Structure 1
Amino acid sequence: MRKFTTTYYQLSSNGKFPEGKGFRLAFISDLHNMEFGPDNAVLKAAIDRADPDLVIIGGDQIVAKPGESLDPGLAFAGHLAEEYPVVYGCGNHEYRLKLYPEQYGDRYEKLRERLTAAGIRYLENETADLAIRDCPIRIYGYAMDRTYYNRFYRGPLPVLELTDHLGKTDPARYGILLAHHPAYRTSYAAYGADLTLSGHYHGGVVGFGAHRGLVTPDFRLFSKNCRGLFQTGNTCQIISAGTGEHTIPVRIWNRRELIITDIGQP
């Protein structure tokens, strides 16, 4: 059976929660229709054991290929939503469904419809205000333009791109930015959300230490941004190694990953 690891983090609320308050979130990224046991029962059991207050899906829950089903990725998201609040950010595979209707027909619309019917908040350049255990949160779901996903693009991501799509961060709420592409860490920190959640790099195929991988989907060699926790001032970025893969179905020293994060004092 495929295996994954569960990684735990403890983060400060940066003084934005009432004293003694906090919450726990589970973060899944890049499932790519992978299954851990029938109907993803093994992955679901690991999430249940962690007992999160919120589940965040960081994008690429599905695989965007002509003829590829939207299951089991969306079915699993629906199962999670039966028990937990679920917020779903846009990855490059969800974005691809929207960008190329001549290839994918109405699959993007079907994806949105299924998520809405399941009660899942899908954020595509949108925000959501939540109160989890009396903790005020704003989630910023950034869907970046395809320019920045270009395999050979090495230019910057202007912070203005984020503010134009999402507005400025609310200093009274703990901000969680869903930004699927991890490479633009400096821009995410400058935007000012307390926590950025990313994926996309699948841990770099072959892992070297805590953060470095062999190669990324945009052909960066030995990137230092393949997985792990990074801190810049009062802002943090967590980059998931992902729970699945598709084009290169190989992982060496790079186990699939479920992330559990306590923010404040849950």
Structure 2
Amino acid sequence: MGIILGILIGSYSFFRVKYALNDTKLTKNKQIMISSIIAILSFLFCLNIWSMAALLIFYLFISSLIADLILVIRKYVIKEKHLNFIPKIHKNGLLAIIIFASIIIGSVYGMNHIELTEYNITTDKIDNESYSILFVSDVHYGSVQNTQLVKDSILKMNNLKPDIVVLGGDIVDERTTKEDMQEIFEELGKINSTYGTYYIFGNHDRQPYAIDYENGNRTFTDSDLNQTIEKNKIKILNDNKITINNDIVLVGRSDAEWEDTIDRIDVNEILNESDLSKYIVVLDHQPVESKENAQEGADLQLSGHTHGGQVFPYGMIYDLSGRLNYGEYEIKDMKQIVSSGLTGWGWPMRNEAKCEYVLININ
């Protein structure tokens, strides 16, 4: 994908830069040399599609295409007697830069604003009671989002006075220091709830990809992580279940790791001998095995992991591929809610979905 994107953007960059240099005093050879250098650099930056450089080059490419479209609209729709400044700022690249800057500013804004998303679900399995579940996932604490913003959001969560708190994995990741790991679980452990706080592992919490990052080493051990979680009175659910107030069964799944190579026990082994007249909530970091969970009698599945795409076009690709990406889905008789997470991963920007914490009201 990186090679294809690099060839596409590199080729476009060559002709776009050469077009911009046509009216300069540079010789043809120098114009070709400059255009070629920029095209080669664009190609190289795109090879790692997960890098910040690739994302910025891609958005500059998109911005330039939008600028081209504006020029066409001005010429053939609005007519040339209007907006005479557009051809000039288009050719010198200023129009594309303005669009690019708008995208980046909006994306940074998106990463630095956290909102509440609320869902209301009705069921005939619970008599004379209602429950609220606060679902928080993908905090990636200490990586790409201001830690004070996270703490401020936790204060707002506390004001919701939820019955149950669920931490849906990737609360920390490879860039999280041991001190930050201890701090975030201490903060999350302070959220007041009627029936406690429950935690499932995500694919980043145990820092399995540390070798891919700058320090090359883990900053805390599994024992450090588990002890910190339990110290703050947070219950770990890892392929086991717990019944709450004789009404709700929380089924916590181990992380599926790579979606196409899931190797974990079947959910029916966990639900075996469970009373399906109770309201069954499956907690799975990744939105996978939804059909299987619905078939086994689950009423609700809560997941995160996708970040709602976080940055264009990843969310669009998820949606086009038919995978669960963000929001509420209906799968047989089961509801599936996929949160975009409290923050993002990798890039300090967000322009798809939003940073959120989720409140589910079950009536």
* TM-score, with length taken from structure 1: 0.78
Contact 2:243 2:250 in 1 (8 A): yes
Q: 1:62 and 1:46 mapped to 2: Cα distance?
A: 20
Aligned residue for 2:349, secondary structure, equals: coil
Q: 1:168 and 1:42 mapped to 2: Cα distance?
A: 42
- Identity across aligned pairs (percent)? 22
Tell me what 1:258 maps to: 357
Q: 1:222 to 1:46 in 2, by over 3 A?
A: farther
Tell me what 2:121 maps to: 11
Tell me what 2:221 maps to: 107
Tell me what 1:118 maps to: 232
Count of aligned residue pairs for this structure pair: 246
* 1:1-266 correspondence to structure 2 within 5 Å: 2-13=112-123, 15-18=124-127, 20-33=128-141, 38=148, 40-65=150-175, 69-80=180-191, 85-96=196-207, 103-104=217-218, 107-131=221-245, 136-146=247-257, 149=258, 153=260, 161-165=266-270, 167=272, 169-206=274-311, 213-215=315-317, 224-264=323-363
Q: 1:103 to 1:207 in 2, by over 3 A?
A: closer
Amino acid at match of 2:172: I
Q: 2:233 and 2:151 mapped to 1: Cα distance?
A: 20
Q: 1:128 and 1:196 mapped to 2: Cα distance?
A: 15
Amino acid at match of 2:282: L
- Measure how far apart 1:59 and its partner are: 0.7
Aligned residue for 1:43, secondary structure, equals: helix
- Measure how far apart 1:96 and its partner are: 4.7
Of stretches 43-52 and 74-83 in structure 1, the one that deviates more from structure 2 is 74-83
Aligned residue for 1:214, secondary structure, equals: helix
- Measure how far apart 1:161 and its partner are: 2.1
- The Cα RMSD (Å) is 3.4
Q: 1:44 to 1:61 in 2, by over 3 A?
A: same
Aligned residue for 2:158, secondary structure, equals: helix
**Higher helix proportion (structure 1 or 2):** 2
Amino acid at match of 1:193: A
Q: 1:114 to 1:170 in 2, by over 3 A?
A: same
- Measure how far apart 1:28 and its partner are: 0.5
Q: 1:39 and 1:84 mapped to 2: Cα distance?
A: 26
Q: 1:127 to 1:168 in 2, by over 3 A?
A: same
Amino acid at match of 1:21: E
CA deviations over 1:242-263 (Å, ceiling 9, x no partner): 0112223321142111111110
Q: 1:120 to 1:24 in 2, by over 3 A?
A: same
Contact 1:9 1:262 in 2 (8 A): yes
Q: 1:77 to 1:67 in 2, by over 3 A?
A: closer
Name which structure has the greater RCO, CA cutoff 8 Å, separation 6+: 1
Q: 2:311 and 2:135 mapped to 1: Cα distance?
A: 22
**Higher strand proportion (structure 1 or 2):** 1
Contact 1:126 1:142 in 2 (8 A): yes
Segments of 5+ residues of structure 1 without an aligned counterpart are none
- Measure how far apart 1:198 and its partner are: 0.3
Q: 2:199 and 2:264 mapped to 1: Cα distance?
A: 22
Q: 1:106 and 1:41 mapped to 2: Cα distance?
A: 22
CA deviations over 1:178-206 (Å, ceiling 9, x no partner): 11111432223223211100000011124
Aligned residue for 2:181, secondary structure, equals: coil
Q: Larger C-alpha radius of gyration, 1 or 2?
A: 2
Segments of 5+ residues of structure 2 without an aligned counterpart are 1-108
- Measure how far apart 1:27 and its partner are: 0.6
